[in-house]
Amino acid sequence: MRCSSCRAPAVLDVARHNAAFCERCFLTHCREQVARAVRHFGMLDDGDRVLVAVSGGKDSLALWDLLLDLGYRADGLHLGLGIDGYSDAGAQRTRVFAADRGARLQVLDLPSELGFDIPSGSRAARRTPCSACGLSKRHLFNAAALEGGYAAVATGHNLDDEVAVLFGNVLRWDLAYLGRQLPVLPAAPGFARKVKPLVRLGERETAAYCVVRGIDYVIEECPMSAGNRHLRYKEAFNSIEERSPGTKAAFYFGFLERITPLVEPAAAAERGDLHPCPSCGSPTVTEVCAFCRLAERARA
Ligand code: Q46
Ligand code: ZN
């Protein structure tokens, strides 16, 4: 197998591009895919300050590395979720990465700073761990970005993640979620801009990127993800993609091009009227925002 760009021996093939790459050209491919996504979807402007949500896994560390490499002023925020056997490993990999690159890292430890962890907090609030975790992350990353005056929060969602979530939303025809599943959510009062610069890269590519760049990341899945339906959707799509390369990208980018314009208004109408949460000031449609209710129950 030869590199499609320079004819040197290839180390990785990317079937959906009908291409193979040597290490050097693979890194160029990853940078080009991220730069293209950023440009095409208007995610960031040159010189923007970006807050990167970093877990210590392959996607978030690859994202941070790529954004720094592309010249963005990218700082990291790591949340300590208090998940045994997982959170410490993520914090450690994140700290090592930041120290190696001389990048700015903020760490917010939920148990010691907010008084609850995800496993016990989710039980107290009668939510699944991933629902409590997702809610906490959205709230805390948004709040930190607003407080720090960042242009955007960047998350490491890759093509496989977006395809799995899209498939789940389509199975339920959940218009509110479909209308919000965009690679860019613009800033609005109380909301920082959200961007997903890895949507043009699959998880095999982000893992390979970390290996080639010598980035040490947490390989183990979060123990709370067991039974997560998105993992099953990923497996299903992997077997389809194996037989028909390009299916994932066609499904996701076709949705963005052709369906998003149809569902966005319906989703906006479902959102209701926002007012500031009396406890934290975040915009909410309920009396007190979902995060403050979760935190209150978790600390009780
Ligand atoms: S960290 Fe949190 Fe994930 Fe663990 S509890 Fe679920 S959402 S699986 S990305
Ligand atoms: Zn609140």
In order, the DSSP letters of 86-144 are THHHHHHHHHHHHHHHT--EEEEEIIIIIS--HHHHHHHTT--HHHHHHHHHHHHHHHH
> Which is the closest atom of ligand 1 to the Cα of 130?
6
Tokens 């998105």 correspond to 230
Note every long-range contact of 258-266, with CB atoms under 8 Å and residues 24 or more positions apart, other chains counting: 259/178, 260/178, 260/179, 260/182, 263/175, 263/178, 263/179, 264/179, 265/179, 266/175, 266/176, 266/179
Q: Cα of 222 to ligand 1 centre, how many Å?
A: 6
> Over pLDDT 70: what percentage of the chain?
99
Task: Please provide residue 9's backbone torsions phi and psi, each rounded to the nearest 5 degrees.
Answer: -60, 135
Q: Whose CA is nearest to atom 1 of ligand 1?
A: 222
Closest-approaching ligand to the CA atom of 228: 1
Closest-approaching ligand to the CA atom of 281: 2
Report the largest interatomic distance among the alpha carbons of the chain, rounded to a whole angstrom. 63
**pTM of this prediction?**
0.96
Q: Which CATH superfamily is domain 38-299 in?
A: HUPs (3.40.50.620)
Ligand 1 pocket list (CB less than 6 A): 118, 129-130, 133-134, 222, 224-225
Task: Give the environment of ion ligand 2: residues with CB less than 5 A.
Answer: 277, 279-280, 282, 289, 292
Q: Whose CA is nearest to atom 5 of ligand 1?
A: 130
Give domain limits for the chain.
Answer: 38-299
pLDDT of 271 reads 67
Q: In this predicted model, what pLDDT tens digit does every residue of 182-202 receive, in sequence order?
A: 999 999 999 999 999 999 999
Terminal Cα-to-Cα distance of the chain (whole angstroms): 60
Q: Whose CA is nearest to atom 6 of ligand 1?
A: 130
Tokens 């799509």 correspond to 237
Nearest CA-CA partner of 66 in 212, 191, 222: 212
> Which is the closest atom of ligand 1 to the Cα of 122?
5
**277 vs 101: CA distance, rounded Å:** 38
pLDDT of 47 reads 86
The mean pLDDT value of the chain amounts to 95
Cα torsion 54, 59, 195, 277: sign: negative
**294 vs 76: CA distance, rounded Å:** 25
Quick one: average pLDDT of 32-52?
96
> Which residues partner with 109 through β-bridges?
80
Task: Please provide residue 184's backbone torsions phi and psi, each rounded to the nearest 5 degrees.
Answer: -135, 130
Report residue 270's pLDDT band, with 50, 70 and 90 as the boundaries: low
Q: Cα of 57 to ligand 1 centre, how many Å?
A: 11
Q: Cα of 108 to ligand 2 centre, how many Å?
A: 17
Report residue 176's pLDDT band, with 50, 70 and 90 as the boundaries: confident
**169 vs 253: CA distance, rounded Å:** 15
Task: Please provide residue 108's backbone torsions phi and psi, each rounded to the nearest 5 degrees.
Answer: -120, 115
Q: Cα of 2 to ligand 2 centre, how many Å?
A: 55
Quick one: average pLDDT of 39-66?
97
Q: Cα of 131 to ligand 1 centre, how many Å?
A: 8
Quick one: average pLDDT of 28-34?
98
Radius of gyration for the alpha carbons in the chain, expressed in angstroms and rounded: 19
Q: Cα of 83 to ligand 2 centre, how many Å?
A: 23
Quick one: average pLDDT of 10-28?
97
Q: In this predicted model, what pLDDT tens digit does every residue of 133-163 receive, in sequence order?
A: 999 999 999 999 999 999 999 999 999 999 9
